[in-house]
Amino acid sequence: MTESIFLPVLKLSAFISCIAILIDLYEQKLCLTFAKAFKSDCLCINDLKEKISIMLWRFIVIYTLVLFILSVAVFFNLSLIFSVFLSLILICSFYAISYFKFKILHEPLVFSDLFLFKEVCRCPRFYFGYISKVQWFFLFVVFSLLSSFVLIFESNFKLSVSVDSDRFLFYVYFFFIALISIIVWMARTSKSFKFLRDKIEHKLDLIFKSDSCLAAAKFGVVLNFVIGILAFIFKVRWQKSLYLHEEKFTRLISNLENSVGKDCIVLLQAESFISLKDDDIKLSKGADLKGNLHLNYFGAYTMRTEFSVLTGIELNDLGPYASDPYKLAQNVKISSIASALKKQGFYSICIHANSGLFFNRRMVMKNLGFDECIFSEELKAKGKEFNDSEIYKLVKERLTLARKKKERLFIFIISLDGHGPYKDLSQKNKSSLQVYKEKQISLCNGIESLKDGLGKDDCLFVYGDHIPPIKELIKDKNGYLNLRSVAKPCVMAYNIKYSSYMKSCFDSKDRLSLTSNDINKLLLLQGDIHA
């Protein structure tokens, strides 16, 4: 008679869950430390009842996931040791990815990140280049130890599933999981479960008023990941937000002025562009408007700032799509600067030296109302090099041609040359900060080149998309986080047409402090659209 395996599975699941919770607590502490150092609206949990409730739900979720992995593996007659190994690999992989993402971007892994897998495959250097050799070696050692554990113990510890008792218990467990899934789905679609849907949506709505780092600081990484799944299922917030956004743009476009306004508007999204207040970097001179962009994005996620500037939508209003708004924009037409200026006779162009498939920008920009997109595929067809300097030449040519034909242009440039990683084998004698400074000098030269190509009735806007992922910038001499002293992304404008709205963009200390929505409004005002 075969020994029952169901009870060992339950015990091992509890043991693995305890290990997972310890790792989860560690990564939660990382998120909380960063939130306190950098986020002004840090979530604090002072209620003991709430702390106990969150910890209980965390254990239930982790235990259920581990038990499910083990059960599936054992059910298909895999050895118990191999099943444990598989569970540990999956758990360690999840937390390792979340950890490395946090070290680079200071955000944990969230559900929407799964949709970015193809982007990682397309441009691996943008992601894997930040992982050091020591970290790669550590991952190799952990995987090797786990593999050795399987090889040593598998032959001495084998249990199989008994046909009569264990399989029935596993069937009951799988039925229970399926029943919960059906209830969740019916809560989303059925009118009979409206009370449950409203309650879930209210809870999720409160959670997604903060970003992923703040949410993970409160709920932990795994629970925050599962909450993200539920948010996608219930389509929290984003449908209503888009409806209100389209209403706003409809009213805005119906109030057009008859004056001429600017002939051409150039918007440059400068990669990781911040003011270091360093003699090595001479920011472009002669700007009519100069200040900082008020945002907390660190390391990456260019598309977040990009989307907010173009549309004027606050990302927290998009619920689960706040992490990757282009996942939504590639499927839904959304009013933007491009579509609004089109009503004023502007021809809109988006130019980027990377592939149009990256973040599916080709489809996104089409849905945002751009008339023409020029990506690496188009540049290659014209025999052009893939760099920003070639793009600046192309832009100046289009501006010259537009002035001759008396056309109105809106050109959106997504820079690339300033992108990290900021250190490779060819630059081993330089620090990441030194490499970054060299890239920013090149960027400033590009801004000067664009400025020289402007006509008297053209204007140029420049803004940085996020803070660069450089350790020297975020830690003080003692190695502690000191993010409040980090400069914000820069904003500069040339040949700008002043308006009464600009007065509201200065803080109490008479310093220019813009949001992405402010840039959206200021650009629309250049085309004589009431914002």
Domain at 303, CATH number:
3.40.720.10
Range of the domain at 436: 240-526
> Is the per-residue pLDDT at 342 higher than 80?
yes
Evaluate if pTM is beyond 0.85: no
Whether 169 and 263 map to the same domain: the answer is: no
Q: What is the pLDDT of residues 238-287, one digit of tens each?
A: 777 788 888 877 776 666 554 456 789 999 999 888 876 654 456 666 77
- Residues 6 or more apart whose CB falls under 8 angstroms from that of 158 comprise 79, 80, 81
The domain boundary, picked from 183, 210, 234, lies at 234
Element (H, E) at 491: strand 490-494
Q: What average pLDDT does this structure show over 462-473?
A: 81
Domain count, the chain: 2
Q: What average pLDDT does this structure show over 415-427?
A: 72
Question: Which pLDDT score, from 0 to 100, does residue 4 have?
Answer: 64
Question: Which pLDDT score, from 0 to 100, does residue 202 have?
Answer: 63
Whether 249 and 103 map to the same domain: the answer is: no
Question: Which pLDDT score, from 0 to 100, does residue 258 have?
Answer: 46
> Is the per-residue pLDDT at 357 higher than 70?
yes
Whether 309 and 323 map to the same domain: the answer is: yes
Please state, in angstroms and as integers, the Cα–Cα distance from residue 80 to each residue in 64, 168, 170, 387, following that order.
17, 18, 14, 53
Please check whether residue 375 is in contact with residue 356, taking contact to mean a CB–CB distance below 8 angstroms.
Answer: yes
Whether 87 and 134 map to the same domain: the answer is: yes
Q: What is the pLDDT of residues 500-531, one digit of tens each?
A: 777 777 776 666 778 787 888 888 878 765 54
Structural domain includes residue 387:
yes
Mean residue pLDDT across the chain? 77
Whether 156 and 74 map to the same domain: the answer is: yes
Question: Which pLDDT score, from 0 to 100, does residue 180 have?
Answer: 73
Distance CA(394)–CA(399), nearest Å, equals: 9
Whether 15 and 157 map to the same domain: the answer is: yes
Whether 223 and 310 map to the same domain: the answer is: no
Structural domain includes residue 315:
yes
> Is the per-residue pLDDT at 90 higher than 60?
yes
Distance CA(385)–CA(111), nearest Å, equals: 36
Higher pLDDT: 423 or 273? It is 273
Whether 161 and 246 map to the same domain: the answer is: no
Q: What average pLDDT does this structure show over 100-111?
A: 82
Please check whether residue 196 is in contact with residue 184, taking contact to mean a CB–CB distance below 8 angstroms.
Answer: no
Question: Which pLDDT score, from 0 to 100, does residue 488 have?
Answer: 75
The domain boundary, picked from 203, 234, 265, lies at 234
Confidence band (pLDDT; 50, 70, 90) for 399?
Answer: very high
Question: Which pLDDT score, from 0 to 100, does residue 421 have?
Answer: 74
Whether 437 and 495 map to the same domain: the answer is: yes
Structural domain includes residue 131:
yes
- Top-confidence range, 3-17, 190-204, 249-263, 463-477: 3-17
Please state, in angstroms and as integers, the Cα–Cα distance from residue 368 to each residue in 207, 365, 374, 475, following that order.
28, 5, 15, 38
Structural domain includes residue 415:
yes
Distance CA(454)–CA(493), nearest Å, equals: 12
Structural domain includes residue 1:
no
Structural domain includes residue 531:
no
Confidence band (pLDDT; 50, 70, 90) for 65?
Answer: confident
Whether 227 and 247 map to the same domain: the answer is: no
The domain boundary, picked from 234, 249, 281, lies at 234
Q: What average pLDDT does this structure show over 307-322?
A: 83
Whether 259 and 397 map to the same domain: the answer is: yes
Q: What average pLDDT does this structure show over 168-191?
A: 69
Whether 144 and 11 map to the same domain: the answer is: yes
